[in-house]
């Protein structure tokens, strides 16, 4: 049996794939060369998970990789109708980002509750101004997205004594369905968006939903930028419909310098870094190597994405 060809859509730093020497013919490409090389690859590793090149380069009915793995939790950047309709298996990096993102959300909750951004601003001004801060224990949170990341967020907020409701695609044990979301939003102190980007979730946080929230509520998005109608959030903050927000993901990334979100009152902006802890790229590479060895041995793959739903089902 010939050695499989593994094509890597690259970005720096490159993945460490030395363990696959002899078991894969490893080739590298950038976005410009992807379309030409895809038909000759058995496996595609989308290491540059910010690229949307796969959407444009996918060969449709022609020869194509049997397996595509993306080094990210989301798959919206690569999914196109031709890939979704094909027999190509798609896997993702489920499991790598769960706890780091949960910790980041907890940090944002604490920072907003304790007014840390203002404290740092006053320190730069050398201004001594006593204030009172918010006690978070006993509060309520809603996490929209009941996958591993959402569940890790719920556990971590629970450790802070915040009662947390999970909302998923459908109701099941321990998870609310979408029909409960509006009711839960109206009572929540903290609203966390952690859902995958699908047709149902695109733009789900709009003016109506921000209007349902309490004036004291705060909103956090670590899911996908397109979950939020950004103009509606900016208006909600400006009109004090909600007390604050934190965004780690945006519709356009990097966030353009002219975006009004930079100056939105009560908004914390961070550059899509919630899951990126020291050593995260090595973990992503090691995860892919393990999956490749399973694939090469003919074993069932983990983290197989339902290409119609856009995420790994069963959680």
Six-digit token string for 75: 């798959």
Q: Please identify which residue in the block is written with the tokens 């353009």.
A: 256
Q: Out of 272, 283, 293, 309, which one is annotated catalytic?
A: 272
Q: What is the Rg, in whole angstroms, of the alpha carbon atoms belonging to the chain? A: 21
272 flagged as catalytic: yes
Q: Out of 121, 200, 253, 299, which one is annotated catalytic?
A: 253
Q: Please identify which residue in the block is written with the tokens 């994405």.
A: 305
CA 112 to mean position of chain CA atoms: 21
From the list 303, 315, 142, 138, the residue with the least C-alpha distance to 221 is 142
- Distance, in Å, from the CA atom of 178 to the CA atom of 281, rounded to the nearest integer, reads 34
Q: Out of 64, 176, 218, 224, which one is annotated catalytic?
A: 224
Other residues' Cβ atoms within 10 Å of the Cβ of residue 85: 12
Exposed, middle or buried by CB within 10 Å (0-12, 13-18, 19+), for 116? middle
Six-digit token string for 277: 């802890």
Exposed, middle or buried by CB within 10 Å (0-12, 13-18, 19+), for 236? buried
253 flagged as catalytic: yes
Exposed, middle or buried by CB within 10 Å (0-12, 13-18, 19+), for 13? exposed
Please name every residue paired with 193 in a beta bridge, in sequence order, or none if there are none.
Answer: 144, 221
Active site (catalytic) residues: 224, 253, 272
């Amino acid at each position: 049996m010939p050695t499989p060809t593994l094509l890597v859509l690259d970005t720096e730093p490159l993945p460490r794939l030395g363990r696959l020497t002899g078991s894969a013919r490893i080739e590298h490409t950038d976005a410009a060369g992807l379309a030409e090389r895809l038909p000759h690859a058995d496996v595609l590793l989308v290491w540059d998970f910010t690229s949307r090149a796969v959407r444009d380069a996918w060969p449709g009915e022609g020869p194509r990789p049997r397996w595509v793995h993306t080094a990210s939790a989301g798959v919206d950047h690569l999914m196109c109708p031709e890939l979704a309709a094909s027999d190509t298996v798609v896997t993702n990096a489920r499991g790598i980002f769960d706890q780091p993102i949960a910790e980041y959300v907890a940090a944002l909750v604490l920072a907003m509750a304790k007014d840390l951004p203002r404290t740092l601003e006053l320190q730069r001004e050398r201004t001594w101004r006593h204030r009172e801060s918010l006690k978070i224990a006993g509060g309520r949170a809603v996490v929209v997205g009941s996958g591993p990341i959402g569940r890790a967020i719920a556990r971590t907020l629970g450790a802070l004594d915040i009662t947390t409701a999970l909302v998923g695609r459908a109701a099941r044990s321990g998870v609310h369905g979408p029909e409960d979301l509006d009711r839960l939003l109206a009572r929540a102190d903290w609203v966390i968006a952690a859902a995958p980007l699908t047709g149902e979730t695109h733009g789900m946080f709009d003016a109506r939903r921000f209007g349902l929230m309490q004036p004291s509520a705060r909103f956090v998005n670590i899911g996908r930028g397109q979950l939020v109608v950004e103009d509606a959030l900016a208006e909600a903050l400006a009109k004090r419909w909600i007390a604050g927000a934190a965004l780690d993901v945006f519709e356009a990334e990097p966030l353009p310098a002219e975006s009004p979100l930079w100056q939105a009152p009560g908004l914390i902006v961070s550059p899509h870094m919630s899951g990126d802890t020291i050593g995260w790229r090595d973990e992503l590479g090691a995860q892919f190597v393990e999956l490749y060895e399973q694939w090469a041995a003919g074993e069932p793959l983990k983290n197989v994405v339902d290409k119609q739903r856009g995420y790994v089902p069963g959680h």
